[in-house]
Chain A
Amino acid sequence: MNYIIIMAGGQGTRLWPMSRKLKPKQLQKLVSEKTLIQETFERCAKLVDKKNIYISTTPSYLDEIKTQLPQVPEENYIIEPSSRNTMASLCFIILKIKSFDPDAVIAAIPSDHLVRDTEAFVRVFEATFKAAQKHPDKLITIGINPTKPETGLGYIKMGKQVKEIDGEKVFAIDKFVEKPDLKTAQAYLQSWEYLWNTAYYFATIKGLLKWIKEMRPKTYRALKKLEKLLGKEASNGDKAEISNVYNKIAEEQVANVVAENPQKTLVIPADMDWSDIGDWGSLHDVLSDSFSSSIISRGHHIDHNSENCLVYANNKMIATLGLKDVIVIDSPDVLLVANKHKTQDIKKILDRLKSEGKHLYL
């Protein structure tokens, strides 16, 4: 059986001040009247039965997600004891699904991406599920054809084609590459063999277990220990022990472990009008493309002679005059005004707020 696990435990701060510690990006309405996690759920519901969609998150976001996705049954939540990055989450997901369907094929996908071409998404996902069944010993990922020289994303360099499924070509992976500088990104854009790394992973439970055992024996041992503890009827002591073991799993990203051994992964290239909305600048690009307008604004906004701006009002009237390439994000307690080309520097602001003890603004 195919399952989709929506990973919703991330704390993405790059869209600060809208995405906040207590209400990160996936729980925000960024591009429509629905939040990103609601949009992700609806997309997935076109592929698999709703009862086969699982949500992986941490206790801190649980209540908000339940409010936003009331259609998800209680037992479909996979709650990690704490926030320990995606590798640990994946272990927990594997154990949960394995407990009732050891032959499952799962897709683990982020909850905070934007996909505007849902049909393409469905087509590619169906093919990718099939690829995962045909290659039970491999991880299958999806790569996106770059449409601009993006420096905020990692890339996948394709190897040779190994198969074709439902018209979607499947490629070996030559290597994964880190976020490039602008010049390199421009070169990648021109070369057919580079794709944006989505960090969507499809695999059989069995294949994943084997992969973890080979790549991270220590993590695998922790996983086994957890499996034993989870199998018992949980007493309080066991719960503490579960967290204890969980907290010892190395904090790392699945993407980094995957990148260490590209031979174990295959990729399906896709065009689905995708964005990870990694910063305000890229959100502005996506919206201004799709609406063919250089000014994108939400809420009360009045302008004279500005161009290429993103303006998100909260409850105040925002007046802009003669601006160019500026991002304005108003929120109840913080206002951000940034040069569009410098939005990746928001991190520096957050670091500063942290070091000044102003945690309530984070």
Chain B
Amino acid sequence: MDYIVILAGGAGKRLWPLSRNGKPKQFHKITSSKTLLQETYERVKLLMGDNRIFISTVPGYAEEIKKELPQIPKENYIIEPVSRGTAPAFAYIALVLKRINPRATIATISSDHHVKDPKAFAKAAKAAFQAANRYPDKLIAVGTNPTKPETVYGYIKMGSQEDEFEKQKVFSIEKFTEKPDFKTAQKYLKNWNCLWNCCYFFFKTSSLLKWIKKYRPKMYKKIAAIDKLIDDPSREAKEKIAELYSQIEEEQIDTAVAEQGDLKKLVVPADLGWSDVGNWGILHDVLKEESSSSIVTRGNHIDFGSEDCLIYGGEKMIATVGLKDMIIVDTPETLLIAKKSRSPEIKKITEKLTNEGKHLYL
């Protein structure tokens, strides 16, 4: 049986100052009148019913998610005790799902991406589920055709075609590659066999636990110990689980499992109109395309002689004069003004704030 797990535990700060510690990106209405999380739900809803849609998150966000997605049953929440990266999160998800169905196949879908074509997403996901069921020893990914030389995404290099489901071709993955420099990204854009890694993974829960055991035996030990405690409803058991979980070294699934050379993996290429909305520049590109206008604004804005700007206003009137390639974000406490091309460097600002003890702005 297939299940979808929406990953909603991320603390994504790359859209700071809009996304903040208490309210990360997935809880914001960025590309429409719905939050990115709600949009993600609408997309996966095309694939299956609410009882098979799960939410993986951390304790701090559960309340907000329940408000945004009241239709998801309470028992479908998988709450990690603390945030330790996606590798242990996936293992924890596998522990929970295997109790519901020992033969479960799951898809892990990020809650904070933008997908222009939900139908293409549904079609690709269907094919990916079938591939995961047909090849239980392989990890299945979904990749999307690059539309520009993006340097902030990871890429997937396709090998040969292996199969076809629902008229979607499935390829072997030669390798996952890290974020490239601009020149390499330009090369990737020209190659038909390079895809953006959407970080959507499809796999059997049993396989995932096997992979963790093989590639990260230390992590697996903790997970196996948690496995023994997870059915015990007592407070002591819960506390023990939290303790064990917090001892796990933080790691992402990409390095722990996906990028392992001897792991067999497949990819379903698709044109999703996909973006991870990972920085203000990318968001500007997404909104620019949707509105066919080089200046995109929200709120009260007045301009003379500017071009190519994103003005994300709040209550205030924002006046701009003679600007080019700029991002302006006004929030109740903080105001960001950035050169668009520099927006991936927002971390430098948030780090500086952290170092100066200005945590309340984060």
Q: What residues of chain A have their CB less than 8 Å away from a CB belonging to chain B?
A: 17, 302-305, 313, 316-324, 326, 328, 330, 333-339, 341-343, 345-346, 348-349, 352-353, 356, 358, 361
Contact = CB atoms under 8 A, between A and B. Distances in A.
B316 A321 contact: no
B338 A349 contact: no
B61 to A, nearest CB: 24
A48 to B, nearest CB: 41
Contacts of A337: 318-321, 323, 326, 328, 337
A345 B305 contact: yes
Nearest to A328: B337
A349 B321 contact: yes
Contacts of A338: 319-323
Contact of B338 (A322, A334, A352): A322
B80 interface: no
Interface residues of B, number: 37
Given A339-B323, A342-B304, 11 more contacts: A305-B342, A305-B348, A321-B336, A321-B337, A321-B343, A334-B316, A334-B318, A336-B319, A342-B321, A349-B302, A361-B317
> 4 shortest A-B CB distances, which residue pairs?
A342-B322, A322-B342, A339-B322, A338-B321
B311 to A, nearest CB: 9
Given A345-B304, A349-B302, A353-B302, A321 B349 contact: yes
Nearest to B313: A335
B77 to A, nearest CB: 35
B269 interface: no
28 contacts: A17-B319, A304-B342, A316-B332, A317-B334, A317-B361, A318-B336, A319-B17, A319-B353, A320-B338, A321-B336, A321-B338, A321-B346, A323-B337, A324-B339, A326-B337, A328-B335, A335-B317, A335-B328, A335-B330, A336-B318, A336-B320, A337-B320, A339-B323, A342-B304, A342-B305, A346-B319, A348-B305, A349-B303
B247 interface: no
B345 A304 contact: yes
Contacts of A316: 332-335
Q: From B17, B316, B333, name the one whose CB has the most chain A CB atoms within 10 angstroms.
A: B316
Q: From B304, B324, B326, B336, name the one whose CB has the most chain A CB atoms within 10 angstroms.
A: B304
Nearest to B311: A337
B284 to A, nearest CB: 14
Contact of B321 (A333, A334, A336, A358): A336
Contacts of A305: 342, 345, 348
A321 B352 contact: no
Nearest to A343: B321
B322 A302 contact: no
B321 A339 contact: yes
A318 B343 CA distance: 15
A171 B321 CA distance: 41
Interface in B119-151: none
Interface in B38-84: none
B298 interface: no
A335 B339 CA distance: 17
A343 B345 CA distance: 28
A303 B352 CA distance: 9
A280 B317 CA distance: 19
Contacts of B343: 321
Q: From A328, A337, A346, name the one whose CB has the most chain B CB atoms within 10 angstroms.
A: A337
A276 to B, nearest CB: 20
Given A319-B337, A341-B322, A349-B304, A335 B348 contact: no
Contact of A302 (B317, B323, B332, B353): B353
Contacts of B317: 333-335, 358, 361
Contact of A304 (B316, B333, B349): B349
B160 interface: no
A330 B334 CA distance: 11
B10 to A, nearest CB: 21
Contact of B302 (A313, A323, A328, A352): A352
Q: From A305, A316, A326, name the one whose CB has the most chain B CB atoms within 10 angstroms.
A: A316
A321 B326 CA distance: 10
A320 B358 CA distance: 16
Contacts of B318: 334-337
A349 B319 CA distance: 7
A22 B342 CA distance: 38
Contacts of A17: 319
B191 interface: no
Contacts of B320: 336-338
Given A304-B349, A333-B316, A333-B317, A318 B322 contact: no
B321 A345 contact: yes
Contacts of A341: 322
Nearest to B342: A322
